Amino acid sequence: MHSATLAINETLRARRAAGERVLHLGFGEAGLPVPESVAVVLAGAARRNGYGPVVGSVEAREAAAGWFSRRGLQTRPEQVLFAPGSKALLFALLATVPGDVVLPRPSWVSYGAQAALVGKRTIGVPIPAETGGVPDAERLAGALEDARGAGARPGALVLTVPDNPTGTVARAERVREVCAIAERYGLVVIADEIYAELVHDPHHGRAPSATSYLPERTVVTTGLSKSMALGGWRVGFARVPDGAWGQRLMDQLTGVASEVWSSLAAPMQAAAAHVLQDPPKLLGHIDDARRLHATVARAVHGEFTAAGAICRPPEAGFYLYPDFEPVRPALEAQGIDGGAALAGALLERHGVGVLAGEAFGDAPRGLRARVATSLLYGESETERWQALGSDDPLSLPWIAASLEHLRGALGALTARSGG
């Protein structure tokens, strides 16, 4: 099936192109412009049209190794593999690591779909009440025992820190607890850290790296699509653990890469090498992006909670996961009995596009949806630059109008039922 996130993006863009007024909260594109220095590097590398090493150029791997090391995760260039997006790396990992896949529930739409493509079962474990991305430790061991009893072979545990869809950050102690269980059951940990640079509170620090807790059996995947808003450039990279097991895995991943994508496009490797050296101006750009994401996500969170939804406060990235269970009777009076019906009503009646929770493995009857706030920053590059540099982005006319649209839609949704 077509990826749910990509499908809704195409649907909402088509509606807008047809002249409909649609508030696009359905797709996790970072929604910001390309810094000039990065564009200059890419343009300068445009004539690099030859195939390079499958794993990535020496320049790019050295830059990535330094990037990881400066963030407390000592890395050699030989531990790094580049790909056209972290999505490709996740697929290669799920295809390579033996055994079935253990997922937090809910979790990003593509993990389960990729597992199915390589013929593996998924074992869902609910997240705790406060944060997502990491399973509930108390229920994980039981779920693994039950899965084994049912004939599954749990082999890989996927952690998303920070999380999509909830926009939260699992605390280090919870990651340690879960990794201890993973070690006990012989699981490989795949740590998707694509949002790790976008933790809202600078005092919180970066997201806790799962590799710190299970160093010999954890692979970290990340990329430039979220922190640098370069999703369309498709730059992903992974760090395999040091040691004999990591080297064997690197050999296997390189084999998959050589047959599937050959190598990351050479101009993109040049851009990655530049970004991953952490030029001060780009670090400042990411700081500005982090502040904008936090400000707008908090404002949208306030609109959902004011409408009666329960919603974890956003801590990273640009996602929310509101739950309308407190107003279920009001919504059921309108024929809204689950996440798909909720998303459908918001779009068809009120012009608000969100993605139903069941796309993320949630229960179909749950009145939950994933909300992405990052496409509210403006339609033009000029508007997006203004939003990025503004001390008060909520006062910008286009962002204020989007919040007003959302407020009216949520109010109308509840008013229809007498709420």
Reported as a single tens digit per residue, the pLDDT across 12-35 is: 788 878 877 889 898 889 999 999
The candidate with the shortest Cα–Cα distance to 343, out of 361, 329, 355, is 355
The per-residue pLDDT for range 84-99, each reduced to its tens digit, is: 999 999 999 999 999 9
The candidate with the shortest Cα–Cα distance to 28, out of 234, 167, 207, 212, is 167
For residues 267-284, give the mean pLDDT.
98
| Phi, psi of 158, rounded to the nearest 5 degrees | -100, 125
Percent of the chain at pLDDT exceeding 90: 88
So what's the pLDDT on residue 4? 72
The per-residue pLDDT for range 360-395, each reduced to its tens digit, is: 999 999 999 999 999 999 999 999 999 999 999 999
Q: Which bin fits 378, alpha (ψ -120 to 50), beta or left (φ > 0)?
A: left
pLDDT at 418 over 50: no
So what's the pLDDT on residue 400? 98
Angle among Cα 117, 123, 126 to the nearest 5 degrees reads 125
pLDDT at 106 over 90: yes
Q: How far apart are CA 354 and CA 314, in angstroms?
A: 16
So what's the pLDDT on residue 143? 97
pLDDT at 212 over 80: no
So what's the pLDDT on residue 419? 40
Could you tell me the pLDDT band of residue 213, with boundaries at 50, 70 and 90?
Answer: confident
So what's the pLDDT on residue 17? 80
pLDDT at 203 over 70: no
Could you tell me the pLDDT band of residue 232, with boundaries at 50, 70 and 90?
Answer: very high
pLDDT at 216 over 70: yes
Could you tell me the pLDDT band of residue 41, with boundaries at 50, 70 and 90?
Answer: very high
Q: How far is CA 285 from CA 34, 38, 224, 282, in A?
A: 10, 11, 13, 5
Residue 41, exposed/middle/buried by CB under 10 A (0-12, 13-18, 19+)?
middle
The per-residue pLDDT for range 286-318, each reduced to its tens digit, is: 999 999 999 999 999 999 999 999 999 999 999
Helices (H), 226-279: 244-260, 266-275
pLDDT at 63 over 70: yes
So what's the pLDDT on residue 408? 96
For residues 202-217, give the mean pLDDT.
68
Instruction: Considering only residues 146 and 2, tell me which one the structure prediction assigns the higher pLDDT.
Output: 146
Helices (H), 79-184: 86-96, 109-117, 137-149, 172-184
So what's the pLDDT on residue 135? 97
The per-residue pLDDT for range 337-352, each reduced to its tens digit, is: 999 999 999 999 999 9
So what's the pLDDT on residue 382? 97
Could you tell me the pLDDT band of residue 417, with boundaries at 50, 70 and 90?
Answer: very low
